[in-house]
Amino acid sequence: MAKDVDLEFLRQEYFHLQSTVESFDEKALTIKAWSVTLSMVGIGAAFTAKLPLLLLLSAGASLLFWIVEGSWKTFQQANYFRLRKIENYMQGKATIEEDFSVPYITHAWSLGWREVRLSKVMSWPHVFLPHAIVVMTGITLWIINSFVRIVPL
């Protein structure tokens, strides 16, 4: 028995999800901006305040921003699960499944989120940059400072 699907409502759901996915990118850029600003100010402050520990704190702050951005991207990626189902249906590549209904955003997001792994997302270049560079810079400067005083006391 075939289900009836309200195509107009499905189209609205699709464009709503597409808009939601795009809005995540704007927020990801804000996360990157805060990460770089805060962490680089911390590295600079380590030299001006003569506190080498700030190098590690800055690296840690950037690592936390990296995790936040990775989490944010997993939330974004979870929406693609439903977007792909709608696209396949609208292109005639898929038939109506028993669990296909309109609207279905929340349940589909939950299914999609279970498929996305934070560790995988954090390894994507557009996610780990610039956070990984700042983390490595802070740790490297702290290690160098342990052997050769680059942060004056």
Mean of the pLDDT values across residues 88-111? 75
| Type and span of the H or E element at 141 | helix 131-147
Task: Share the mean pLDDT of the chain.
Answer: 90
Domain ranges of the chain: 7-147
Helix 53-90 and helix 131-147: axis angle, to 10°?
160
Query: pTM of the full predicted structure?
Result: 0.85
pLDDT bucket at 1, cuts 50 / 70 / 90: very low
Q: Which residue has the higher pLDDT, 49 or 86?
A: 49
CA distance 15 to 13: 6
In single-letter form, the type of residue at position 86 comes to I
